[in-house]
């Protein structure tokens, strides 16, 4: 079963991590709250707020937004550099998830959250992304055509124990093909990302190559998933 909005409202990820905290890093609640407040310090409460999505936020956002637009972030690229020991893997057999790492550029989707909803919705996003401290979120400029948008982007935290660094392609393929966690398999995570990027007109050749290699390795049959339409 995939992650749901109700899971975030009930803080299920933190509760799940606490059950295996002897194996996994868990950001203390006070530090977690402080990191959210530091990010909100850079936001004007009268304004809407944008969040940049490059992976599962695109196909399973779980937060309320008013618009979403194609966007590109420069200086960062999407890669499988984050180990998953719960959601898409296990303690015994860690999986991999996408993160933004330094260098290059990345095409994704920017989501606009109404000012009145920012505090509640961003806290849900924090519960999803920041419980294990795997990311170092930052304000970044993303581009929608010629338009510049100031958005929150979740960049990988190099100091975190879950950071895997640059892995050989063969390792990534084998890991995604075999790892499975609380919210599904690594292969399914990749398939949904490739499908929804393509639905939005984003062709990520590298992710598509990984998908094709995994399907060959697992003799799998891939059924495309439904993705939300891009808004105004």
Catalytic residues: 129
The residues that bridge with 138 in the sheet, in sequence order, are 153
Token digits of residue 216: 């060959």
Token digits of residue 229: 């339409």
Can you spell out the DSSP letters for 64-130? --SEEEEEEEEEEEEEEEEEESSSSS-SSS-EEEEEEEEEEEEEEEEEEE-GGGHHHHHHHHHHHHS
Token digits of residue 124: 């849900």
């Amino acid at each position: 079963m995939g992650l749901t909005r109700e899971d975030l409202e009930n803080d299920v990820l933190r509760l799940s991590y606490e059950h295996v905290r002897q194996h996994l890093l868990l950001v203390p609640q006070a530090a977690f709250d402080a990191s959210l407040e530091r990010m909100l310090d850079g936001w004007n409460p009268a304004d809407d707020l944008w969040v940049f999505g490059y992976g599962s936020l695109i196909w399973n956002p779980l937060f309320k937004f008013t618009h979403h637009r194609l966007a590109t972030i420069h200086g960062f690229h999407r890669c499988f550099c984050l180990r998953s020991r719960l959601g898409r893997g296990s303690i015994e057999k860690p999986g991999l998830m996408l993160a933004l790492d330094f260098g290059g550029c990345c095409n994704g989707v920017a989501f606009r959250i109404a000012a009145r909803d920012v505090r509640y919705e961003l806290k849900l996003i924090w519960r999803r992304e920041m419980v294990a401290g795997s990311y170092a979120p930052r304000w970044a400029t993303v581009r929608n055509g010629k338009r510049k948008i100031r958005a929150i982007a979740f960049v990988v935290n190099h100091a975190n124990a879950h950071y895997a660094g640059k892995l050989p392609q063969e390792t990534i393929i084998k890991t995604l093909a075999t790892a499975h966690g609380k919210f599904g398999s690594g292969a399914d995570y990749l398939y949904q990302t490739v499908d929804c990027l393509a639905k939005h007109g984003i062709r990520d050749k590298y992710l598509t190559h990984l998908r094709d290699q995994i399907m060959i390795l697992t003799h799998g049959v891939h059924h495309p998933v439904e993705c939300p339409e891009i808004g105004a």
